[in-house]
Amino acid sequence: MKESAKLNITKSVELFEEAMTLVPGGVLGARKPGDFIMGEYPIFLEYGKGCRLTDVDGNEFIDFLCGYGPIILGYREDEVDDAVIRQIKDKGFCFTLTQRYQNELAKKLTEIIPSAELSIFLKTGSDATTASIRIARAYTGRMKVMRSGYHGWHDWCVEMKGGIPEKFYEDVYEFQYNNLEQLEELMAKHGKETAAIIMTPFGHPNHQKMQVPNPGFLEGVRALATKYGAVLVFDEVRTCFRLRMGGAQELYGVTPDLTVLGKGMANGYAISVVTGKKDVMMAAASKLFISSTFFPNSDGYIAALKTIEIMERENVLANIWEKGERLMKKIQATIDKYDVGAALTGVAPMFMITFERGDNDEKRAKRTDFYTQLIRKGFFFTPHHHAYISYRHTEEDLNLTAKAIDEAMAYVKEKYGK
Could you tell me if 83 and 60 lie in one domain? no
Could you tell me if 255 and 192 lie in one domain? yes
Looking at the domain assignment, is residue 134 inside a domain? yes
What per-residue confidence (pLDDT) applies to 84? 98
Q: Which ranges in 157-313 belong to alpha helices (H)?
A: 180-190, 217-228, 247-252, 278-281, 283-286, 298-313
Of 256, 418, 247, the closest CA to residue 349 belongs to 247
Helix (H), strand (E), coil (C) string for 105-160: HHHHHHHHCCCCCEEEEECCHHHHHHHHHHHHHHHHCCCEEEEECCCCCCCCCCCC
Could you tell me if 246 and 381 lie in one domain? no
Burial class (CB in 10 A: 0-12, 13-18, 19+), 225: buried
- Domain harbouring 14, CATH code: 3.90.1150.10
* Residue-wise pLDDT tens digits, 291-323: 999 999 999 999 999 999 999 999 999 999 999
Could you tell me if 378 and 341 lie in one domain? yes
Pairing relation of β-strands 350-355 and 387-388? Answer: antiparallel
Domain total of the chain = 2
Looking at the domain assignment, is residue 2 inside a domain? no
Looking at the domain assignment, is residue 361 inside a domain? yes
In the predicted model, residues of the chain with pLDDT beneath 70 are 1
Picking from 263, 282, 313, the residue at the C-terminal end of a domain is 313
CA 377, distance to chain mean position in Å, is 25
Whole-structure pTM value: 0.96
Contact 235, 199 (CB under 8 A): yes
Could you tell me if 87 and 187 lie in one domain? yes
Burial class (CB in 10 A: 0-12, 13-18, 19+), 121: buried
What per-residue confidence (pLDDT) applies to 379? 98
- Give me the domain span that covers residue 367: 10-75+316-416
Could you tell me if 336 and 287 lie in one domain? no
What per-residue confidence (pLDDT) applies to 1? 67
Could you tell me if 22 and 33 lie in one domain? yes
* Residue-wise pLDDT tens digits, 144-170: 999 999 999 999 999 889 999 999 999
Could you tell me if 45 and 101 lie in one domain? no
Could you tell me if 220 and 342 lie in one domain? no
